[in-house]
Copies of this chain bind each other. A is one copy, B any other.
Amino acid sequence: MLLDFTYYNPTKIHFGKNSLEKLGDELSLYGKTVLLVYGKAAIKKNGLYDKVVAILEAAGKKVVELPGVMPNPTYAKMQEGCELVRAHDVSLILAVGGGSVIDCAKGISASAYCEEEPFAKYWLQYQPISNKTVPVASILTMAGTGSEMNGGSVITHEDMEIKAGRIFPPELYPRFSILNPKYTLTVPKYQMVSGVFDTMSHLMEQYFCGTDISTTDYLIEALLRSSIDNLRAALKNPDDYEARSNIMWNATMALNTVTGLSKTQDWQVHMIEHQLGAYTDCAHGMGLAAVSLPYYRCIAPFGLQKFARFAKEVWGISAESKSQEELAGAGIDALEAFCKECGVVTSLRELGATEEMLPKIAESSFILDGGYKKLTSGEILEILKQCF
Protein backbone atom coordinates (compact mmCIF):
# COMPACT_ATOMS: atom_id res chain seq x y z
CA MET A 1 0.00 0.00 0.00
CA LEU A 2 1.23 3.45 -0.91
CA LEU A 3 1.57 5.60 2.20
CA ASP A 4 0.64 9.27 2.38
CA PHE A 5 3.72 11.46 2.71
CA THR A 6 4.99 14.98 3.24
CA TYR A 7 8.08 15.99 1.30
CA TYR A 8 10.05 19.09 2.13
CA ASN A 9 13.75 19.57 1.57
CA PRO A 10 15.11 23.09 2.03
CA THR A 11 18.81 22.35 1.35
CA LYS A 12 20.26 24.32 -1.53
CA ILE A 13 22.81 22.30 -3.52
CA HIS A 14 25.67 23.84 -5.47
CA PHE A 15 27.11 21.04 -7.58
CA GLY A 16 30.07 20.91 -9.95
CA LYS A 17 33.63 21.89 -10.75
CA ASN A 18 33.15 25.54 -9.83
CA SER A 19 30.71 25.18 -6.97
CA LEU A 20 33.06 26.56 -4.32
CA GLU A 21 32.64 29.94 -6.01
CA LYS A 22 29.15 30.07 -4.50
CA LEU A 23 30.45 29.99 -0.91
CA GLY A 24 31.07 33.72 -0.63
CA ASP A 25 27.50 34.68 -1.55
CA GLU A 26 26.04 32.08 0.79
CA LEU A 27 28.17 33.32 3.71
CA SER A 28 26.72 36.82 3.37
CA LEU A 29 23.44 35.47 4.82
CA TYR A 30 24.97 34.57 8.20
CA GLY A 31 26.55 36.37 11.15
CA LYS A 32 30.14 37.02 12.12
CA THR A 33 31.45 33.77 13.58
CA VAL A 34 31.78 30.49 11.71
CA LEU A 35 32.69 27.18 13.34
CA LEU A 36 34.74 25.22 10.83
CA VAL A 37 34.36 21.49 11.48
CA TYR A 38 36.65 19.05 9.71
CA GLY A 39 38.41 15.70 10.00
CA LYS A 40 41.99 14.59 10.11
CA ALA A 41 44.64 15.92 7.75
CA ALA A 42 43.02 15.38 4.31
CA ILE A 43 41.69 18.89 3.58
CA LYS A 44 44.95 20.46 4.72
CA LYS A 45 46.93 18.21 2.38
CA ASN A 46 44.81 18.82 -0.71
CA GLY A 47 44.59 22.59 -0.29
CA LEU A 48 40.83 22.81 0.32
CA TYR A 49 41.35 24.07 3.87
CA ASP A 50 43.36 27.04 2.64
CA LYS A 51 40.80 27.89 -0.03
CA VAL A 52 37.87 27.77 2.38
CA VAL A 53 39.64 29.83 5.04
CA ALA A 54 40.56 32.43 2.40
CA ILE A 55 36.90 32.74 1.35
CA LEU A 56 35.79 32.97 5.00
CA GLU A 57 38.32 35.70 5.67
CA ALA A 58 37.41 37.60 2.51
CA ALA A 59 33.81 37.51 3.74
CA GLY A 60 34.92 39.10 7.00
CA LYS A 61 34.18 36.10 9.17
CA LYS A 62 35.80 35.16 12.45
CA VAL A 63 36.76 31.48 12.21
CA VAL A 64 36.67 29.05 15.14
CA GLU A 65 37.87 25.52 14.44
CA LEU A 66 36.92 22.01 15.46
CA PRO A 67 39.45 19.75 13.72
CA GLY A 68 39.97 16.02 14.13
CA VAL A 69 36.45 14.68 13.68
CA MET A 70 36.85 10.91 13.33
CA PRO A 71 34.88 8.37 11.27
CA ASN A 72 31.92 7.38 13.46
CA PRO A 73 32.03 10.74 15.27
CA THR A 74 31.82 10.45 19.02
CA TYR A 75 29.59 12.10 21.56
CA ALA A 76 32.70 13.49 23.24
CA LYS A 77 33.83 15.17 20.02
CA MET A 78 30.38 16.61 19.49
CA GLN A 79 30.43 18.04 23.04
CA GLU A 80 33.73 19.74 22.24
CA GLY A 81 31.99 21.51 19.35
CA CYS A 82 29.05 22.48 21.57
CA GLU A 83 31.41 24.25 23.94
CA LEU A 84 32.94 26.21 21.07
CA VAL A 85 29.50 27.26 19.81
CA ARG A 86 28.50 28.56 23.22
CA ALA A 87 31.84 30.21 23.96
CA HIS A 88 32.00 32.07 20.62
CA ASP A 89 28.33 32.67 19.83
CA VAL A 90 28.69 30.87 16.50
CA SER A 91 26.33 31.90 13.65
CA LEU A 92 27.07 29.10 11.18
CA ILE A 93 28.58 25.65 11.53
CA LEU A 94 30.44 24.84 8.30
CA ALA A 95 31.35 21.18 7.92
CA VAL A 96 34.11 20.42 5.41
CA GLY A 97 34.50 16.70 4.86
CA GLY A 98 32.48 13.52 4.51
CA GLY A 99 29.36 12.28 6.26
CA SER A 100 31.00 11.90 9.65
CA VAL A 101 32.04 15.54 9.73
CA ILE A 102 28.58 16.72 8.61
CA ASP A 103 26.83 14.44 11.11
CA CYS A 104 29.00 15.82 13.89
CA ALA A 105 28.16 19.38 12.81
CA LYS A 106 24.43 18.62 12.94
CA GLY A 107 24.83 17.01 16.35
CA ILE A 108 26.52 20.18 17.60
CA SER A 109 23.72 22.29 16.12
CA ALA A 110 21.03 20.30 17.94
CA SER A 111 22.90 19.96 21.23
CA ALA A 112 24.82 23.19 21.92
CA TYR A 113 21.83 24.92 23.52
CA CYS A 114 20.07 21.81 24.84
CA GLU A 115 19.64 22.08 28.59
CA GLU A 116 18.98 18.38 29.09
CA GLU A 117 21.31 15.50 28.16
CA PRO A 118 21.09 15.73 24.36
CA PHE A 119 22.04 12.15 23.42
CA ALA A 120 19.24 10.71 25.51
CA LYS A 121 16.75 13.37 24.43
CA TYR A 122 17.39 13.50 20.69
CA TRP A 123 19.12 10.24 19.71
CA LEU A 124 17.50 7.73 22.05
CA GLN A 125 14.09 9.21 22.90
CA TYR A 126 13.69 10.90 19.52
CA GLN A 127 12.08 14.04 20.96
CA PRO A 128 11.45 17.01 18.64
CA ILE A 129 14.13 19.67 18.86
CA SER A 130 12.91 22.30 21.30
CA ASN A 131 16.00 24.47 21.82
CA LYS A 132 17.71 27.02 19.60
CA THR A 133 19.79 25.44 16.82
CA VAL A 134 22.67 26.89 14.81
CA PRO A 135 22.49 26.82 10.98
CA VAL A 136 24.62 24.07 9.42
CA ALA A 137 26.18 24.04 5.93
CA SER A 138 28.57 21.65 4.27
CA ILE A 139 31.35 21.30 1.71
CA LEU A 140 31.40 17.63 0.80
CA THR A 141 34.65 15.79 0.07
CA MET A 142 33.46 12.17 0.01
CA ALA A 143 30.36 10.57 -1.45
CA GLY A 144 28.23 8.04 0.34
CA THR A 145 26.29 9.01 3.41
CA GLY A 146 23.92 11.56 1.85
CA SER A 147 24.21 13.68 4.99
CA GLU A 148 24.71 16.77 2.81
CA MET A 149 21.00 16.94 1.94
CA ASN A 150 19.14 15.60 4.94
CA GLY A 151 18.68 16.23 8.65
CA GLY A 152 20.29 12.97 9.81
CA SER A 153 23.06 12.72 12.36
CA VAL A 154 24.67 9.47 13.49
CA ILE A 155 26.66 9.80 16.70
CA THR A 156 28.57 7.14 18.62
CA HIS A 157 28.30 7.28 22.41
CA GLU A 158 31.48 5.51 23.45
CA ASP A 159 30.66 4.97 27.13
CA MET A 160 27.25 3.54 26.29
CA GLU A 161 28.64 1.58 23.31
CA ILE A 162 25.76 2.83 21.17
CA LYS A 163 25.92 4.31 17.67
CA ALA A 164 22.56 5.98 17.13
CA GLY A 165 21.14 7.84 14.15
CA ARG A 166 18.73 10.73 14.47
CA ILE A 167 16.54 11.22 11.38
CA PHE A 168 15.50 13.87 10.11
CA PRO A 169 14.58 16.95 12.14
CA PRO A 170 13.92 19.80 9.69
CA GLU A 171 16.14 22.17 11.72
CA LEU A 172 19.24 20.12 10.91
CA TYR A 173 19.10 20.06 7.10
CA PRO A 174 22.16 21.94 5.82
CA ARG A 175 21.14 25.39 4.59
CA PHE A 176 23.45 24.83 1.64
CA SER A 177 25.87 22.13 0.54
CA ILE A 178 28.70 22.50 -1.93
CA LEU A 179 29.41 19.34 -3.91
CA ASN A 180 32.48 19.33 -6.11
CA PRO A 181 33.16 15.90 -7.61
CA LYS A 182 36.81 16.89 -8.12
CA TYR A 183 37.37 16.67 -4.36
CA THR A 184 36.47 13.00 -4.54
CA LEU A 185 39.07 12.18 -7.20
CA THR A 186 41.70 11.73 -4.47
CA VAL A 187 39.51 9.56 -2.21
CA PRO A 188 41.28 6.15 -1.97
CA LYS A 189 39.68 3.22 -3.75
CA TYR A 190 38.71 1.48 -0.47
CA GLN A 191 36.79 4.54 0.72
CA MET A 192 35.20 5.16 -2.68
CA VAL A 193 33.93 1.59 -2.87
CA SER A 194 32.70 1.76 0.72
CA GLY A 195 30.86 4.98 -0.09
CA VAL A 196 29.09 3.50 -3.11
CA PHE A 197 27.98 0.50 -1.06
CA ASP A 198 26.68 2.89 1.57
CA THR A 199 24.61 4.55 -1.17
CA MET A 200 23.40 1.20 -2.49
CA SER A 201 22.48 0.08 1.01
CA HIS A 202 20.43 3.25 1.57
CA LEU A 203 18.58 2.48 -1.64
CA MET A 204 17.97 -1.18 -0.80
CA GLU A 205 16.78 -0.35 2.73
CA GLN A 206 14.10 1.83 1.16
CA TYR A 207 13.32 -0.60 -1.67
CA PHE A 208 12.78 -3.89 0.13
CA CYS A 209 9.39 -3.28 1.72
CA GLY A 210 5.76 -3.19 0.71
CA THR A 211 3.81 -5.00 -1.97
CA ASP A 212 3.17 -2.02 -4.23
CA ILE A 213 5.49 -0.87 -6.99
CA SER A 214 5.51 2.88 -6.71
CA THR A 215 7.34 5.53 -8.69
CA THR A 216 9.77 5.59 -5.77
CA ASP A 217 10.74 1.99 -6.59
CA TYR A 218 11.48 2.92 -10.20
CA LEU A 219 13.66 5.79 -9.00
CA ILE A 220 15.55 3.51 -6.61
CA GLU A 221 16.22 1.03 -9.40
CA ALA A 222 17.57 3.86 -11.56
CA LEU A 223 19.94 5.03 -8.82
CA LEU A 224 21.11 1.48 -8.13
CA ARG A 225 21.87 0.98 -11.83
CA SER A 226 23.68 4.29 -11.99
CA SER A 227 25.70 3.34 -8.87
CA ILE A 228 26.71 0.01 -10.38
CA ASP A 229 27.65 1.39 -13.81
CA ASN A 230 29.54 4.37 -12.44
CA LEU A 231 31.45 2.46 -9.77
CA ARG A 232 32.67 0.16 -12.55
CA ALA A 233 33.67 3.19 -14.63
CA ALA A 234 35.47 4.86 -11.71
CA LEU A 235 37.34 1.67 -10.80
CA LYS A 236 38.51 1.41 -14.41
CA ASN A 237 39.54 5.07 -14.52
CA PRO A 238 39.72 6.82 -11.14
CA ASP A 239 40.06 10.18 -12.92
CA ASP A 240 36.72 9.85 -14.73
CA TYR A 241 34.97 13.10 -13.72
CA GLU A 242 31.61 12.00 -15.12
CA ALA A 243 31.67 8.75 -13.12
CA ARG A 244 32.73 10.53 -9.92
CA SER A 245 29.99 13.13 -10.47
CA ASN A 246 27.35 10.47 -10.85
CA ILE A 247 28.61 8.60 -7.79
CA MET A 248 28.39 11.81 -5.80
CA TRP A 249 24.91 12.78 -6.96
CA ASN A 250 23.62 9.20 -6.56
CA ALA A 251 24.67 9.33 -2.93
CA THR A 252 22.85 12.61 -2.35
CA MET A 253 19.67 11.48 -4.14
CA ALA A 254 19.72 8.15 -2.27
CA LEU A 255 19.11 9.79 1.08
CA ASN A 256 17.50 13.18 0.54
CA THR A 257 14.18 11.41 1.32
CA VAL A 258 12.93 11.34 -2.32
CA THR A 259 13.72 7.62 -2.50
CA GLY A 260 11.75 6.80 0.65
CA LEU A 261 8.48 8.55 -0.18
CA SER A 262 5.33 6.41 0.11
CA LYS A 263 7.29 3.48 1.60
CA THR A 264 7.49 1.93 5.09
CA GLN A 265 11.25 1.32 4.63
CA ASP A 266 13.37 -1.37 6.27
CA TRP A 267 16.73 -0.05 7.71
CA GLN A 268 17.45 -3.26 9.66
CA VAL A 269 20.86 -3.63 7.98
CA HIS A 270 21.80 -0.16 9.21
CA MET A 271 20.67 -0.98 12.74
CA ILE A 272 22.96 -4.01 12.81
CA GLU A 273 25.85 -2.19 11.15
CA HIS A 274 25.59 0.69 13.61
CA GLN A 275 26.34 -1.70 16.44
CA LEU A 276 29.06 -3.36 14.39
CA GLY A 277 30.51 0.14 13.95
CA ALA A 278 30.23 0.87 17.67
CA TYR A 279 32.40 -2.20 18.37
CA THR A 280 34.81 -2.24 15.43
CA ASP A 281 34.99 1.25 13.86
CA CYS A 282 34.93 -0.46 10.44
CA ALA A 283 34.22 1.38 7.18
CA HIS A 284 30.44 1.88 7.22
CA GLY A 285 29.79 0.80 3.61
CA MET A 286 31.84 -2.37 3.98
CA GLY A 287 29.97 -3.32 7.16
CA LEU A 288 26.66 -2.73 5.42
CA ALA A 289 27.62 -4.92 2.45
CA ALA A 290 28.79 -7.73 4.74
CA VAL A 291 25.54 -7.79 6.72
CA SER A 292 23.33 -7.29 3.65
CA LEU A 293 24.13 -10.57 1.93
CA PRO A 294 23.00 -13.00 4.68
CA TYR A 295 20.23 -10.58 5.74
CA TYR A 296 18.66 -10.45 2.28
CA ARG A 297 18.94 -14.24 1.92
CA CYS A 298 17.10 -14.49 5.24
CA ILE A 299 14.24 -12.14 4.36
CA ALA A 300 13.86 -12.84 0.61
CA PRO A 301 11.28 -15.63 1.10
CA PHE A 302 8.98 -13.03 2.73
CA GLY A 303 9.25 -10.55 -0.15
CA LEU A 304 9.86 -12.80 -3.13
CA GLN A 305 8.11 -10.66 -5.72
CA LYS A 306 10.24 -7.62 -4.94
CA PHE A 307 13.48 -9.60 -4.82
CA ALA A 308 12.59 -11.09 -8.22
CA ARG A 309 11.98 -7.60 -9.57
CA PHE A 310 15.33 -6.50 -8.11
CA ALA A 311 17.09 -9.26 -10.09
CA LYS A 312 15.36 -8.27 -13.29
CA GLU A 313 15.36 -4.49 -13.12
CA VAL A 314 18.62 -3.79 -11.31
CA TRP A 315 20.85 -6.63 -12.51
CA GLY A 316 19.22 -7.30 -15.89
CA ILE A 317 18.74 -11.01 -15.15
CA SER A 318 16.28 -12.73 -17.46
CA ALA A 319 13.24 -14.25 -15.78
CA GLU A 320 13.01 -16.91 -18.47
CA SER A 321 12.83 -20.52 -17.22
CA LYS A 322 13.35 -19.41 -13.61
CA SER A 323 10.98 -19.78 -10.69
CA GLN A 324 10.40 -16.65 -8.62
CA GLU A 325 12.65 -18.15 -5.90
CA GLU A 326 15.43 -18.79 -8.38
CA LEU A 327 15.13 -15.30 -9.84
CA ALA A 328 15.16 -13.72 -6.36
CA GLY A 329 18.22 -15.78 -5.43
CA ALA A 330 20.00 -14.82 -8.64
CA GLY A 331 19.58 -11.14 -7.76
CA ILE A 332 21.28 -11.55 -4.37
CA ASP A 333 24.00 -13.67 -6.02
CA ALA A 334 24.57 -10.83 -8.50
CA LEU A 335 24.94 -8.38 -5.61
CA GLU A 336 27.49 -10.71 -3.99
CA ALA A 337 29.42 -11.12 -7.24
CA PHE A 338 29.49 -7.32 -7.63
CA CYS A 339 30.91 -6.98 -4.10
CA LYS A 340 33.72 -9.39 -5.03
CA GLU A 341 34.34 -7.63 -8.35
CA CYS A 342 34.75 -4.27 -6.59
CA GLY A 343 36.89 -5.49 -3.69
CA VAL A 344 34.27 -5.07 -0.99
CA VAL A 345 35.23 -6.74 2.28
CA THR A 346 32.26 -8.89 3.29
CA SER A 347 33.76 -10.75 6.23
CA LEU A 348 33.23 -9.29 9.69
CA ARG A 349 36.47 -10.88 10.83
CA GLU A 350 38.38 -8.91 8.20
CA LEU A 351 36.50 -5.80 9.26
CA GLY A 352 37.88 -6.18 12.79
CA ALA A 353 35.12 -8.05 14.61
CA THR A 354 35.92 -10.88 17.03
CA GLU A 355 33.70 -13.87 17.73
CA GLU A 356 33.03 -12.57 21.25
CA MET A 357 31.58 -9.34 19.85
CA LEU A 358 28.86 -11.04 17.82
CA PRO A 359 26.37 -11.74 20.66
CA LYS A 360 26.88 -8.21 22.00
CA ILE A 361 26.25 -6.71 18.57
CA ALA A 362 23.15 -8.87 18.12
CA GLU A 363 21.79 -8.04 21.57
CA SER A 364 22.30 -4.29 21.23
CA SER A 365 20.94 -3.86 17.67
CA PHE A 366 17.65 -2.01 17.42
CA ILE A 367 14.98 -4.18 15.79
CA LEU A 368 12.67 -2.45 13.29
CA ASP A 369 9.57 -3.67 11.53
CA GLY A 370 9.26 -1.77 8.26
CA GLY A 371 10.69 -4.56 6.12
CA TYR A 372 9.51 -8.00 5.02
CA LYS A 373 10.29 -9.75 8.30
CA LYS A 374 10.83 -8.58 11.85
CA LEU A 375 13.95 -10.32 13.16
CA THR A 376 14.70 -11.67 16.62
CA SER A 377 18.07 -11.11 18.31
CA GLY A 378 18.73 -14.79 17.71
CA GLU A 379 18.22 -14.35 13.97
CA ILE A 380 20.52 -11.32 13.97
CA LEU A 381 23.21 -13.42 15.68
CA GLU A 382 22.75 -16.11 13.01
CA ILE A 383 23.16 -13.46 10.26
CA LEU A 384 26.31 -12.12 11.92
CA LYS A 385 27.78 -15.62 12.12
CA GLN A 386 27.08 -16.16 8.44
CA CYS A 387 29.18 -13.14 7.46
CA PHE A 388 31.82 -13.58 10.16
Binding site for B on A (CB under 8 A): 2-19, 22, 212-216, 218-219, 221-223, 225-226, 230, 241-242, 245-246, 249-250, 253, 258, 261-262
In the bound complex, residues from chain B placing their C-beta under 8 Å from that of A246 are: 214-215
In the bound complex, residues from chain B placing their C-beta under 8 Å from that of A262 are: 15-16, 245, 249
In the bound complex, residues from chain B placing their C-beta under 8 Å from that of A249 are: 214-216, 261-262
CA distance A194 to B202 in the complex (A): 35
A15-B261, A222-B222 given; A2·B215 CB < 8 A:
no
Which of chain B's residues has its CB closest to A11's CB? Answer: B8
Contact B214 A223 (CB under 8 A): no
CA distance A5 to B18 in the complex (A): 9
Contact A218 B214 (CB under 8 A): no
Please list 20 pairs of residues, one from A and one from B, whose beta carbons are closer than 8 Å in the complex, sorted by A's number. Answer: A2-B16, A2-B242, A2-B245, A4-B14, A4-B16, A6-B14, A6-B15, A7-B12, A8-B12, A15-B262, A213-B242, A214-B249, A215-B223, A215-B246, A215-B253, A218-B222, A218-B225, A219-B222, A249-B261, A253-B258
Contact A15 B9 (CB under 8 A): no
Contact A5 B15 (CB under 8 A): yes
Instruction: Identify the interface centre among A11, A225, A246, A258: most chain B CB within 10 Å of its CB.
Output: A246
Q: Which of B5, B17, B223, B258 contacts A4 (CB under 8 A)?
A: B17
CA distance A220 to B89 in the complex (A): 45
Contact A7 B13 (CB under 8 A): yes
Which of chain B's residues has its CB closest to A211's CB? Answer: B242
In the bound complex, residues from chain B placing their C-beta under 8 Å from that of A13 are: 5-8
In the bound complex, residues from chain B placing their C-beta under 8 Å from that of A19 are: 4
Contact A7 B15 (CB under 8 A): yes
CA distance A2 to B218 in the complex (A): 23
Which of chain B's residues has its CB closest to A180's CB? Answer: B4
CA distance A215 to B4 in the complex (A): 27
Nearest Cβ distance between residue A370 and chain B, in whole angstroms?
17
CA distance A222 to B222 in the complex (A): 6
In the bound complex, residues from chain B placing their C-beta under 8 Å from that of A16 are: 2-5, 262
Nearest Cβ distance between residue A110 and chain B, in whole angstroms?
21
